[in-house]
Amino acid sequence: MHSKKLFMAAATALLAAGVATTAGAFQTRGGAQTSVNSANRASAREANVETRQTNRTARASDRQNTMQQASSNRANAASNISSNRTNAATNISNNRANVANNYNNNYNNNWYNDHPVATAAAVTTAVVGTAAVVGSIVRSLPPSCSAMTINGVTYQQCGSTYYQPQYAGTTVQYVVVNPPH
């Protein structure tokens, strides 16, 4: 409380001696100082408005560029994905054709190819047996088989045996496979 009284006493003494405060200086000088300050403030406000407007325009342009780049990136990604899927499908198809051709070449050199009776006996044995040997090949399916597609591959189910078709030249053969999942 004592320091407050001292401060008030010092302020009163200064005012009595004729020392003016800052607020008093603006009031005693009159309008000239005030109008200069007002002009400076108005000019500063205009500069701030222009700066904000320029910044706003720049940000809008940046947003537009960012959206266009993102759209372009999405289109490129979709194109790449489509191209990759097409390439993968082509590779799978070529691999299957190569396997079929390799098998066909090996099968044509087989004893069964030259002996139709032996081929019929082997096919009949595979079909009549309780379970066909996985990997064995038949040229025709037994009656009452049903087609089923699993993971994009069509199989023929004949009882508990599953066959997957494959081409040997222009003819279809069926390979005995494990039950698909």
Helix (H, G, I), strand (E, B) or coil at 176: strand
Given pLDDT bands bounded at 50, 70 and 90, which one contains residue 94?
confident
The predicted pLDDT at position 176 comes to: 94
Q: Are residues 116 and 82 located together in one domain of the fold?
A: no
Outline where DSSP puts E strands in the chain.
137-138, 146-150, 153-158, 161-168, 171-177
Q: Does residue 116 share a domain with residue 84?
A: no
Same-domain status, 125 and 160: yes
The whole-number pLDDT of residue 147 equals: 92
Judge if 118 and 77 occupy the same domain.
Answer: no
Q: Is residue 102 part of a domain?
A: no
Residue 162, pLDDT score? 93
Mean pLDDT value across residues 75-98: 80
Residue 106: inside a domain, yes or no?
Answer: no
Confidence (pLDDT) at 13: 66
Instruction: Report if residue 26 sits inside a domain.
Output: yes
Tell whether 20 is covered by a domain: yes
The reply to whether 132 and 73 lie within a common domain is no
Residues 85 and 133 in one domain: no
**Structural domain includes residue 97:** no
Residues 122 and 157 in one domain: yes
Domain check: are 19 and 81 in the same one? yes
Segment of 2-16, 36-50, 131-145 carrying the highest mean pLDDT:
131-145
How many domains is the chain partitioned into structurally? 2
How many beta carbons lie within 10 A of that of residue 150, not counting itself? 11
| Residue 75 maps to a domain | yes
Q: In which residue are the tokens 């020392």 written?
A: 19
> Rounded to whole angstroms, how far apart are CA atoms 20 and 18?
6
Q: With respect to residue 118, please indicate whether it lies within any of the assigned structural domains.
A: yes
How much is the mean pLDDT over the chain?
A: 76
- Same-domain status, 126 and 53: no
* Percent of the chain scoring above 90 in pLDDT: 24
**What is the full DSSP assignment across 82-97?**
HHHHHHHHHHHHHHHH
Same domain, 84 and 125: no
The highest-confidence range among 7-21, 23-37, 52-66, 116-130, by mean pLDDT, is 52-66
Do 120 and 58 share a structural domain?
A: no
CB 129 within 8 A of CB 141: no
Say whether both 75 and 116 belong to one domain: no
Using pLDDT thresholds of 50, 70 and 90, give the confidence band for residue 173. very high
From 89, 124, 145, give the residue that closes a domain: 89
Please name the amino acid found at residue 90: T
Amino acid 104: pLDDT: 61
pLDDT tens per residue across span 23-75: 544 454 554 555 557 778 888 888 888 999 999 999 999 999 999 999 888 98
Cβ atoms of 138 and 176 within 8 Å: the answer is yes
- At residue 5, the pLDDT reads 75
The answer as to whether 124 is a domain residue is yes
Domain that residue 54 falls in: 2-89
Q: How high is the pLDDT of residue 54?
A: 92
Q: What is the mean pLDDT of residues 146-171?
A: 91
Q: What is the pLDDT of residue 112?
A: 47
